[in-house]
Amino acid sequence: MLRQMRPTLVYAVLGILFMFVAPQVLQLFTIINLTTAIALAILALSLALIWGYGGILCFGQVAFFGLGAYVYTISAINFGGSTWAILLAILITAAFAAALGYFIFFGRVSDVYLGVITLTVTLIFFSLIRRTSGPEYKIGNALLGGFNGVSSPPINLPWDTRTFLFPEQVFYVAMAALILCYVFVGWLVNTKFGRVCVSIRENELRAELLGYDIRLYKLGIFTIGAGIAAIGGVMFCNGVGRITPDVFNLYNAALTIIWVIVGGRGTLIGPIGATFALFYLTSALGGQTVLNNNLVLGVILIIFVLLVPKGVAPTVVDWFGARRRKKPGRVRRRRRGNRTEGAQ
Amino acid sequence: MTRQRGEVVVETRDLCMHFGGVRAVDQVDFSLFDKELRCLIGPNGAGKSTFFKCLTGQLTPTSGEVIIRGQPMTGAEPFEVASLGVGIKTQVPNVFDGLTAEENIWLAARRWHGDARSRSLTAETIERLKLGDIRRTLVGQLAHGQRQWVELGMVVAAEPWLVLLDEPAAGMTHEETYRTVELIEEINKTSALIVVEHDMQFIRMISRTVTLFHEGRILMQDTMEAISADPRAREVYLGHRA
C-alpha cells in the first residue's frame, strides 16, 4: 500500500512546500485568486475520483459543489460560526447525493441517462435559486438573495467564533483541504473498495459475476465524491466571499468535465493540474478582448479529445514508460502488489 | 457445512423464458447433483445459453423456479447467485481489460478472503493455470485464448462449490482445449459443474452425463455414447456426420 501511495505522497509533500512558500513570495491578490483555484481543484479531484476511477460520468458534479457552498453559507449565518457549518455542508451534500444515487444506481439507470439526470438536477438548482430574490425567501436568518446570491461568512477559529481568518489564512486552510482530500482519495483508490470500483468501471457484469454488489459500490463512490465536492464548495465561497446561483450554470458543469478530460481520467494529479492551468488561462484571457474565452476553451477541449484523448497525465506516464523500456540491459525493478495504475 | 454426494444442488422447475412469441426456454425441469459434471448441448438456438443466463441471474425467467442449494434464486441478481459461492464464466470473455491478469484474479479472490489470503490465493491460481508470463500484462492486450484462461483463473480463485461455464473452449487451440479439459476434471474433484458446449470433441473428452436441448426443451439426458447413438438426437443436432 505504501509503495503504491508513494507518488501521491510525493505530490502531497510538494503541495505542503507550496503551501508554506507561496504566501511568502506571492502578493495577496494572487493568494486570494489561488484560493479560488484550489477550491475548483478540489471539485476536479472529486470528479476525477468518480469518473476516472468509478467510471460514473456525472455531468452535475458542480451541483454538489454549489450545494455544499450554499449549505455552508446559510448555516454559518445561522449558527454564527463556521465549524459546524462546514461539517453540515459535507453531510447534507453527501446525504443528498446518496438519495439521488440510490434511485440512479438501484434503478440501474445507464450511463447516458445518469449524465442527463445529474445535469438536470444542476440546472434545477440554478433556476430555483435564481428565483429566490425577495425577503420571503430565507432560511433562518439567511436571505437566499436570488441571482445576487448570499455573502458567505469567512471561516473562524474552531474555538473562537469571533476570530475570523484573514484571506491568506483561508489560503492555508484551502490548500490543506486540497492536500488532505488528495491523500485521502489516493489512499481510497488503493483500498479494496477502490480497486473493486475500478473493476466495475472496467466491466460491470464481470464484477457482478464475482459476487460484488455493484450498485452499493457505485453509490458509495458517488456519495464520497459528492462530499469532497462539498468541501471544494465551502472553500470556494470562502475564497470569493459570496455564493451565487451562477455556480450551477451549464458553463461550470461543462468546465468540470473539461478539467478531467484535459488532465486525464484515471489519475488524480492530472485533473488538479489541469484546473490550475485552465483557471490561469481563463484569467489571462479575461484581460484581453481579441479572443472569446469560451471559444478558446472549446478549442482546447477539441484538441485534447482528438490528439491527447487520454489526457496529459496518462500520456506523460506512457511516454516515460516507453522511454524507460527502450533502455537496454536495465532490469526492471519488480513492483510489489498487482496494480496497473498507482494514484499519481 | 457438510454436503453429501447425491444432494441436488441446482434445480429448475417448469422454467420458461419467452421473448415475445419465441419460447427460448420452455418448461424445463432440470436437476444437478453435488459434485456432478453435466454438459449441456444442443444446436444453435436450442436455448442452452438462455437457460444458462436464467441460472446466473442475467435473465429473469418468464415463469418457473430456479433453486440453488435449496434457496429460491428465481430472478435473483447475478451478484446474489455468485455470492452463494457459484463461479460463472460467460460465453464472451468477460474480463477487466484495463487491469493486469494478476489484478483480475486478485479481485475474484478478494471477494471471499482477507488481504493476505487473497494474495497467496492469487499466486497459487497463477501458478496452477500457468499464467506466470502474463501476470503483469493488461488483459486487454492478451490473445483470445489467454483471456479465456484469465477468466477461468477468476472462477477458480473464488474456490466455488458450483461452477457454470458457457462455452469455455470457444476460440481455443487444441492444446488449450486439452488443458481446459484437464482443468475441468480437476475442478470437478471439489465442485459441481455445468458446462454449456458446442464442440463435440470437447464433450467426448469430458464425457459424463449430457443434457441435450432442442427448441427450448430438454430432448434427452444420457451419456454421450447413448446420445450419439440415438436417432432423434442425431437428427436434431449431430446431423448425419457423427
Are residue B150 and residue B169 in the same domain, yes or no?
no
B84-105 burial: b if 16+ Cβ within 10 Å, else e:
bbbbbbbeebbbbbbbbbbbbb
Gap from A107 CA to chain B (nearest CA, Å): 13
For chain A, the domain total comes to 1
Task: Compute the nearest-CA separation of B233 from chain A (Å).
Answer: 33
Same domain, B36 and B121: no
In a domain, A124, yes or no: yes
Which residue from B98, B100, B111 is facing A211, i.e. has the nearest CB?
Answer: B111
Q: Do B58 and B102 share a domain, yes or no? A: no
- Does a structural domain hold residue B118? yes
Q: What is the pLDDT of residues A297-340, one digit of tens each?
A: 888 889 988 988 888 888 888 888 777 766 554 444 444 444 44
Domain that includes residue A45, residue range: 2-251
Same domain, B201 and B113: no
Residues A174-195 have pLDDT tens digits of: 999 999 999 999 999 999 999 9
- Which residue in chain A has the smallest CA separation from B55? A209
pLDDT in tens, chain B (242 residues): 344 457 899 999 999 999 988 889 989 999 999 889 999 988 888 888 899 999 999 999 999 999 999 889 998 999 999 999 999 998 888 999 999 999 999 999 999 999 899 999 999 999 988 898 998 999 999 988 889 889 999 999 999 999 999 988 887 888 888 888 999 999 999 999 999 987 778 888 887 788 988 888 888 888 888 888 888 888 876 554 44
Give the Cβ contact number of residue A296 at 10 Å: 15
Query: How far does A47 lie from chain B, in Å, by closest CA?
Result: 20
Count other Cβ atoms within 10 Å, centred on residue B14: 12
Range of the domain at B201: 8-85+160-238
B160 within 8 A of B189, measured Cβ to Cβ: no
Last residue of a domain, one of B159, B178, B207: B159
Q: Do A208 and B78 touch (CB under 8 A)?
A: yes
Asked if the C-beta of B52 comes within 8 angstroms of chain A's C-beta atoms, the answer is no
Contact with chain A for residue B102, Cβ under 8 A? yes
The answer as to whether A330 is a domain residue is no
Residue B110 is nearest to which of A192, A209, A340, comparing CB atoms?
A192
Domain count, chain B: 2
Residue A319 domain flag: no
Residues of B whose CB is below 8 A from A212:
79, 111
Last residue of a domain, one of B141, B159, B177: B159
Residue B155 shares a structural domain with residue B168: no
What is the predicted ipTM?
0.88
Question: Using CA atoms, how far apart are residues B23 and B43, in angstroms rounded to an integer?
Answer: 15
CA–CA separation, A84 and A94 (whole Å): 15
Q: Which of A282, A312, A276 is nearest to A174 (CA)?
A: A276
Q: Which residue of A has its CA nearest to B81?
A: A211
Q: Give a yes or no: residue A323 inside a domain.
A: no
Identify whether residues B147 and B168 lie together within a single domain. no
What is the rounded distance in angstroms from the CA atom of residue B9 to the CA atom of residue A23?
69
- Which of the residues A338, A340, A341 would you substitute to probe the B interface, choosing the one with the greatest number of B C-beta atoms within 10 Å? A338
Best of A195, A204, A210, A216 to disrupt the B interface (most B CBs within 10 Å) is A210
Nearest C-alpha in A relative to B94: A206
Q: Is residue A280 part of a domain?
A: no
Residues B37, B58: Cα–Cα separation, whole Å: 22
Same domain, B148 and B209: no
Please report whether residue B48 resides in a domain. Answer: yes
